[in-house]
Amino acid sequence: MTAPRFYVPAAAATLAPHTELRLPDDVTRHAVQVLRLRDGAPIVLFDGTGGEYPATLALAGRAASARVKAHVAIEREAPIALTLVQALVAADVMDGIVRKAVELGVARIVPILAERSQRGPAERLERRVGRWVQIAVGACEQCGRNRVPPIEEVRPLDVFVSERRDLHGAAVLDPRAPGSLAAAARHAHTLIIGPEGGLTQQEVERCAAAGAHVAHLGARTLRADTAALAALATLQAMAGDARDA
């Protein structure tokens, strides 16, 4: 059975080989109250800077610490660093996209506001970004990644395009496109996905004018969450994201 994995950010504690580390409160709660781990249980810690640390859980009353073993320089990142530019969708759907995209190896997530995106107050968007960061951490703990992909602040699609200026190497998904994503896969490192209802024709043309390749995912029109994950999986598979036997 795989040992449970816990993220201990470098800002909260310093992971070092052959030391004993007091675990942060949130990690302690997860290990003891949620997973019901007992004293002496094997665990794995990582801080997002690369590699991981096998350790042993040590309980003393309500406090928990880890007896850290040697650093293991292992990475489980994808062969290409893909950026997912995802237009905001319904809260639960967006949460699922973030979780699964991290599992699929995405290197960065840029949430954007498109014309048909669901909207809300700025403070609510800030809270949602914080929630997505926590979802990304949990996904890394589950899937074995030792680097947590950054999630940028929410911005309008027009602002994203103007910031990047050159979108060569980006693929914007549009079911009306004449060409498939497979045709652009060799050079694609950024995926632009619309909200429920898709991007407008004007938004697609704005991305294309900046250099993005407009592509479809087949004869069927996919939901926003299905399109994002199918596109990520397609590009990762074509780049050779597989485990050797």
For residue 116, count other CB atoms closer than 10 A to its CB.
17
Predicted local confidence at residue 129, as pLDDT: 94
Predicted local confidence at residue 245, as pLDDT: 37
Predicted local confidence at residue 202, as pLDDT: 95
Residues 5, 10, 16, CA angle at the centre, nearest 5°?
A: 75
For residue 55, count other CB atoms closer than 10 A to its CB.
24
- Nearest CA to 208 among 244, 243, 186, 179? 179
Domain 5-68 in this protein, CATH class: mainly beta
Superfamily of domain covering 83-238: SPOUT methyltransferase, trefoil knot domain (3.40.1280.10)
Predicted local confidence at residue 201, as pLDDT: 95
Question: Domain ranges in the chain?
Answer: 5-68, 83-238
User: What is the full per-residue pLDDT of the chain (245 aa) written as tens digits?
Assistant: 689 999 999 877 789 999 999 999 999 999 999 999 999 999 999 999 999 999 999 998 888 999 999 999 999 999 889 999 999 999 999 999 999 999 999 999 999 999 999 777 777 888 999 999 999 999 999 999 999 999 999 999 999 999 987 898 899 999 988 888 887 767 789 999 999 989 999 999 999 999 999 999 888 888 889 999 999 998 888 877 655 43
Predicted local confidence at residue 1, as pLDDT: 66
Predicted local confidence at residue 243, as pLDDT: 58
Alpha helix stretches (DSSP H) within 47-151: 91-103, 122-143
Predicted local confidence at residue 126, as pLDDT: 85
* Beta carbons of 170 and 226 less than 8 angstroms apart: no
* Beta carbons of 186 and 231 less than 8 angstroms apart: no
Here the tokens at position 204 are 């697609």
Predicted local confidence at residue 237, as pLDDT: 85
Output the pTM of the full model: 0.91
